[in-house]
Structure 1
Amino acid sequence: MAPAPPRARQWLPYTAAVTAGLLVIVGAFVLVRQRDAGSDRPRADCAVRLDVNSSTEKAALLVELAKRYNDSDRSLDGGGCAQVHVSALNSGRATEVLAAGWSGTGLPQPQVWLPTSSLWTGQLRLLDEAAGRTPQTPDRYPSIANSPLVIAMPQPKGELVRQRGPLGWGEILGLSGRQGWAGFGRPEWGRFTFGKDNPNLSTSGLAATIATYYAAAKRSSDLTTSDLADPEVTRFVRQIEANVSHYSDDSVELLRDLAEADLAGAGAGDMSAIVMQEELVHLYNEGGLSPRQEGQERGPRPKVPLVAVHPEEGTFNLDHPFVVLPSADERQRVAADDFLAFLTEDDQQASFARLGFRDHERQASVELLASVGAEPAGGLTYFAPPNPAVVETMLDGWSTLRKKANILIALDTSGSMQAPVGDRTRFQVASAAAAKGLALLNSEDRVGLWSFSSETSKRPDGPYREEVRLGDFDQKRINSRIAGLHVAGDTALYATVRAAHKQVLERYDPQRINAVVVLTDGKNEYARDNDLARLLADVTLDPRRPVKVFCIAFDGDSDFATLDRIAKASSGKAFDATDPAMIDEAFVKLVSSF
């Protein structure tokens, strides 16, 4: 079977970009453990086994509902009954393995697929057609639940925007420029920036990008590749992307960090809004994403809830389709029809509603609207899903329109980086991961490189050194400098983070995401600068000139807890690669932020 041409696969989460043996286990590519929903008391007459693969955000609920189905007294047309078994795989990964014949997952091949959005069924169809196969998903499919895309804002800001009446995507997400919140009478709130998932990794991020293009083209259906090439459309999308605070690989993790900051009284940092599924607004407001004690289902509700703002042009709906695959035989198709009927019954739909989903007919519960805020008087307007080929072209173009970055990378070269990891050293593993991560940056980004440890015979003047000056991205030169670095000394973590943060502030670019990236395998061992409290104060985010610190804790000797505190003080993020095998994943997740 011939492989799909490269262009047919470029849109998938970094699949084409990360080819040299890198398994992408991130965002829309995370493979999770199988969830088995077999019954505690299987019926002897249930000869039909139905394997269902669900997207991960609703998999736990599907396990519960499948068990409820299996324990019921339902019978199939023609006699007998079925046992449903649920496994979980993120929608992007499922798309990939379905296109490859469902190999390498360790999960049973499904007869029913429940992705987050029909966007994925369209992309699978594109992959099948490009490979000369009969499409596995040629049709449109019924929904088992729905969740529209919304612009979520902290309540004071969201209510102020709502008071202005109907506003469009450009009027909301394009607010900032230099005027920012001053245009709403609140200059003390500063610039307007928002959080958004990387569309190469996230269904929410992909849907947000599509919605922006629809708003730019001033239509709600039939988006074409010609629309994408229109200079006015390009200008509109570029204006929106310019206001991104930073990209995320996972909006759930972004909200968990926000909930933790809220409960600590730290607020939302420099972000005025986050574009995401309405369902997640409900979960956040109900404490479902707050820190919780062991045994608790939910944590405390946030002090400042989020409000869902609906742009007037319309929004994109994540429709959670019920897809019966060609792998289903005749009896499994009968079982699938019965399971679909079961999922759309009132009791099961009430279970979806408790998680913040709208029902299979897009109707919101009273409780959901009370939690996230009322929808417009005339109801929501939805954009029609674009042709899969248009989505592919859109993502090809997004890489040039997205907000660019101004990044200073600080690489630990202390003596502990000589410790073995298999047949390589920590430094060799880290260097290889850094090279792969750098390959995913945009050629228009600005990137610099520092090395750090403590003073050594080869670096007697200070604990860190500028290897490549922060400027136009020269990947070949950075890789060459990394390959030639000398590993020795102790870990001068605090001094380096402080100095690197100051360096980026001095070269701050308001048109870019400004960040420090720190890769270390240890903890601070530098007696001349051992004041963590002062460091946290020094890197605390200034919303007017945000410089964020992103840390990768490499190997088990890393002080991840401290790195996490440093990152959060700056509204950045720490990535846990204390298992060295996870460092490739950490770099891909890191790069998705830029």
Structure 2
Amino acid sequence: MTGRHRRHLPSAARFAAIVAGALAVAGVVVGVRAGVGRVDAADCATPVRLTVAAPQEIASAVRASAAEWARTKAAGKKGCIAVDVQARSAPEVAAAVSREQRVTLAGVGTAQAAAVPDVWVADSASWLLRLRTAAPAFAFTEDGSLAQSPVVVAMPEPIAKELGWPRKQLTYADLLTAMTTDTSVRPGTVDPSRDAAALSGLLALDAAAATQPRADAAGAVLRALATDASTLREDLMAQLPQSDDPGTLAGSLGLAVMPEYDVVAYNSDQPAVPLTALYLTPSPAPLDYPFAVLPGADPAHADAAHRLYEHLTQSPAFRERLGVAGLRSADGTIPTGLQTPTGAPRATPPPADGGSAAAPKVDDAAINRTLAAWSAVVAPARALAVVDASKSMSTPVPSARNATRMQVSLAAAKGGLKLFGDDWQLGLWMSAAGLDTNGNHRELVPVRPLRDNRGAVAAALGSIRPSGGDGALYRTIVDGYRQLRDGWQPGRVNSLIVLTDGVGDEEITLPDLLRQLQGLRTQDRPVQIIIVGLGDAVDRQPLEQITDTTGGGVFVAEDPAQIEAVFLQALSLRTATPR
């Protein structure tokens, strides 16, 4: 859960509080289903039951205002409405949507039980952007924002003062130096594939690092943050110092990106060491709580949802409830009751647009590139890349100035190679019928550490050309999977990465392939298969059966000119646990 933290307690008491809180949230969700729907629709034979999922920090404000609205004539003029507001984290809802859309999103997987709501109030529009990129048919309606919370860099106050705050307005350059060269400041983060605030901050830090003279500044930032990465924000908050003595400060979390509301909540408990919130310029994209009506809602539910949004955005009571929850209004201004940290702007400054080199526009390409780079750092791989070299890969791509499928594939692979650290182990094969004595693939570079292998891989990628043969994908997948399993190494994501424009005339049948993979698969040596497909003629069904057997995922660039974005998205998935 990525919602607001609760009072900081010693470990045993804190664990009990977390368990109690989780049970309370579960009770609230069940209670709302059983209670609000019945109370608000008591006089209705067939009420419209609208389900709304929202993160914990805003759910209570939405629930209270929705209950008030459901009792009004404005809500009932087209029939009775019951609103069920469920406190659900963004990764949980994203996993449920991913399951329904048959896609996989890095960091969240697919939920097996959770239902998809009628309305989703995610904490950030970046979730909707990621899902729309992964599933272009994900046709939701986004009405607008309900609230905001600026994304800040939080530091224990004594550490911020050592860097010159508040006399000096700290900059990205100051923080990058502190993160990568000052051993007295211990940075940390929540996994950005699961936390929108962490992703927003990482995008801004990465953009700032690109302007620094140090060639590897962006990589140094990622490595520094990954050292103390947490899955849950509560775990990150638990690492904050409990006293201001030098030893405790040196061993505790000294810098982390988080939403403003978390700083407000933490300081409201009057901790021994309060947090300082740094509002950087240009600012990271804030959490903006978009109100999205999800696909599948019938006209009555969609109409009720849109009218609920109008009520929330026009309600003074809802604005006051946001302030109590530690959130700003949708326009970024401060509502009554919100005590912001020292130095907070009166209104959230807009993030810089794509014209600024220091803060590029937050789009799907930037997100995919950042998450792929994060995955490359936190999950070093032992990987074998297979490039389909069948004759169909010579097909021109009109949207890529008639470059061939092979050329656009290799360009994407070369871009991915730049993300991989020297501790990666990588090998390269090309695959087509009749290539070599084994009849289906040729080893171009054996799997070895990139510190010794990078030049050889880059040169081999530049030498691959489509052959005159048909595809031989199934046999190559079996051979590649077997080699990776036999040479499997702990502490790494062992992956077979396949770039192909689809299944051709295969030597073995799909059932035979699946039986062989099932026979090779072992629980103690998991190997993922990541398949990147090119073109709108790719049949996903057999490829998905392969990855369902081994773990991994299928990513298809229907327009091969978009292969780079899809390739980066596929790389970011590697943090998922193999099944």
Please give the range of the TM-score, normalised by the shorter of the 2 chains.
Answer: 0.5 to 0.7
Aligned equivalent of 2:362, options 382, 386, 411: 386
Is 1:118 the counterpart of 2:125? The answer is: yes
Looking at structure 1, the residues matched to 66 and 250 of structure 2 have their Cα atoms a distance apart, in angstroms, of: 38
Looking at structure 2, the residues matched to 403 and 171 of structure 1 have their Cα atoms a distance apart, in angstroms, of: 28
In structure 2, relative to structure 1, the CA distance for the partners of 1:41 and 1:365 (3 Å cut) is: closer
In structure 2, relative to structure 1, the CA distance for the partners of 1:479 and 1:238 (3 Å cut) is: closer
Q: Return the offset for 1:367.
A: 5.2
Corresponding residue number in structure 1 for 2:236? 254
Looking at structure 2, the residues matched to 104 and 377 of structure 1 have their Cα atoms a distance apart, in angstroms, of: 39
Corresponding residue number in structure 2 for 1:560? none
Q: Return the offset for 1:142.
A: 0.9
Looking at structure 2, the residues matched to 271 and 85 of structure 1 have their Cα atoms a distance apart, in angstroms, of: 38
Is 1:165 the counterpart of 2:168? The answer is: yes
In structure 2, relative to structure 1, the CA distance for the partners of 1:442 and 1:94 (3 Å cut) is: farther
Partner amino acid, structure 1, of 2:166:
Q
Looking at structure 2, the residues matched to 56 and 442 of structure 1 have their Cα atoms a distance apart, in angstroms, of: 37
Are the aligned partners of 1:174 and 1:243 in contact in 2 as well (CA < 8 Å)? no
Q: Return the offset for 1:382.
A: 1.6
Q: Secondary structure at the match of 1:174?
A: helix
Looking at structure 2, the residues matched to 238 and 359 of structure 1 have their Cα atoms a distance apart, in angstroms, of: 36
Is 1:210 the counterpart of 2:203? The answer is: yes
* Superimposed CA distance per residue, residues 432-469 of structure 1 (whole angstroms, 9 cap, x where no aligned partner): xxxxxxxxx998389xxxxxxxxxxxxxxxxxxxxxxx
Q: How does 1:414-563 map to 2 (within 5 A)?
A: 444=423
Looking at structure 2, the residues matched to 442 and 252 of structure 1 have their Cα atoms a distance apart, in angstroms, of: 30
Looking at structure 1, the residues matched to 229 and 237 of structure 2 have their Cα atoms a distance apart, in angstroms, of: 13
Q: Return the offset for 1:84.
A: 0.4
Are the aligned partners of 1:53 and 1:113 in contact in 2 as well (CA < 8 Å)? yes
Q: Return the offset for 1:77.
A: 7.3
Q: Return the offset for 1:94.
A: 1.9
Q: Return the offset for 1:371.
A: 4.2
Q: Secondary structure at the match of 1:208?
A: helix
| Percent of residue pairs bearing the same amino acid type | 24
Is 1:52 the counterpart of 2:36? The answer is: no
Looking at structure 2, the residues matched to 233 and 383 of structure 1 have their Cα atoms a distance apart, in angstroms, of: 23
Would you tell me which structure has more helix in proportion to its own residues? 2
Segments of 5+ residues of structure 1 without an aligned counterpart are 1-29, 181-189, 219-230, 288-300, 406-440, 447-471, 481-587
* Superimposed CA distance per residue, residues 340-391 of structure 1 (whole angstroms, 9 cap, x where no aligned partner): 13322121121121121111111124754x4421225896342455221331
Segments of 5+ residues of structure 2 without an aligned counterpart are 1-21, 102-109, 354-360, 382-419, 426-451, 453-483, 492-574
Partner amino acid, structure 2, of 1:110:
P
Corresponding residue number in structure 2 for 1:92? 91
Partner amino acid, structure 2, of 1:311:
L
Corresponding residue number in structure 2 for 1:195? 188
Q: Secondary structure at the match of 1:93?
A: helix
In structure 2, relative to structure 1, the CA distance for the partners of 1:36 and 1:365 (3 Å cut) is: same
* Superimposed CA distance per residue, residues 513-568 of structure 1 (whole angstroms, 9 cap, x where no aligned partner): xxxxxxxxxxxxxxxxxxxxxxxxxxxxxxxxxxxxxxxxxxxxxxxxxxxxxxxx
Is 1:127 the counterpart of 2:130? The answer is: no
Corresponding residue number in structure 1 for 2:78? 79
Are the aligned partners of 1:177 and 1:191 in contact in 2 as well (CA < 8 Å)? no
* Superimposed CA distance per residue, residues 283-316 of structure 1 (whole angstroms, 9 cap, x where no aligned partner): 10112xxxxxxxxxxxxx2122111111222222
Are the aligned partners of 2:124 and 2:288 in contact in 1 as well (CA < 8 Å)? yes
Partner amino acid, structure 1, of 2:272:
K
Q: Secondary structure at the match of 1:87?
A: strand
Are the aligned partners of 1:155 and 1:304 in contact in 2 as well (CA < 8 Å)? yes
In structure 2, relative to structure 1, the CA distance for the partners of 1:235 and 1:124 (3 Å cut) is: same
Partner amino acid, structure 1, of 2:423:
E
Q: Return the offset for 1:266.
A: 4.6
Q: Return the offset for 1:120.
A: 0.7
Corresponding residue number in structure 2 for 1:374? 343
Corresponding residue number in structure 1 for 2:319? 349
Partner amino acid, structure 2, of 1:124:
L
Corresponding residue number in structure 1 for 2:447? none
Looking at structure 1, the residues matched to 171 and 289 of structure 2 have their Cα atoms a distance apart, in angstroms, of: 26
Are the aligned partners of 1:166 and 1:312 in contact in 2 as well (CA < 8 Å)? no
Is 1:151 the counterpart of 2:127? The answer is: no
In structure 2, relative to structure 1, the CA distance for the partners of 1:136 and 1:261 (3 Å cut) is: farther
Are the aligned partners of 2:170 and 2:280 in contact in 1 as well (CA < 8 Å)? yes
Is 1:239 the counterpart of 2:220? The answer is: yes
Corresponding residue number in structure 2 for 1:277? 259
Are the aligned partners of 1:248 and 1:254 in contact in 2 as well (CA < 8 Å)? yes
* Superimposed CA distance per residue, residues 213-266 of structure 1 (whole angstroms, 9 cap, x where no aligned partner): 333456xxxxxxxxxxxx979733223234435111122232145376689x95
Q: Secondary structure at the match of 1:52?
A: strand
Q: Secondary structure at the match of 2:258?
A: strand
Are the aligned partners of 1:110 and 1:327 in contact in 2 as well (CA < 8 Å)? no
In structure 2, relative to structure 1, the CA distance for the partners of 1:445 and 1:65 (3 Å cut) is: farther
In structure 2, relative to structure 1, the CA distance for the partners of 1:234 and 1:74 (3 Å cut) is: farther
Are the aligned partners of 2:333 and 2:348 in contact in 1 as well (CA < 8 Å)? no
Is 1:335 the counterpart of 2:328? The answer is: no
TM-score, scaled to structure 1: 0.51
Q: Return the offset for 1:68.
A: 4.0
> Number of residues paired by the alignment?
351
| Pairwise CA RMSD | 4.1
* Superimposed CA distance per residue, residues 365-419 of structure 1 (whole angstroms, 9 cap, x where no aligned partner): 4754x442122589634245522133112211223356999xxxxxxxxxxxxxx
In structure 2, relative to structure 1, the CA distance for the partners of 1:135 and 1:378 (3 Å cut) is: closer
TM-score, scaled to structure 2: 0.52
Are the aligned partners of 1:47 and 1:81 in contact in 2 as well (CA < 8 Å)? yes
Looking at structure 2, the residues matched to 397 and 234 of structure 1 have their Cα atoms a distance apart, in angstroms, of: 15
Partner amino acid, structure 2, of 1:170:
A
Are the aligned partners of 2:264 and 2:326 in contact in 1 as well (CA < 8 Å)? yes
Partner amino acid, structure 1, of 2:49:
R
Are the aligned partners of 2:40 and 2:81 in contact in 1 as well (CA < 8 Å)? no
Looking at structure 1, the residues matched to 248 and 290 of structure 2 have their Cα atoms a distance apart, in angstroms, of: 39
In structure 2, relative to structure 1, the CA distance for the partners of 1:177 and 1:83 (3 Å cut) is: closer
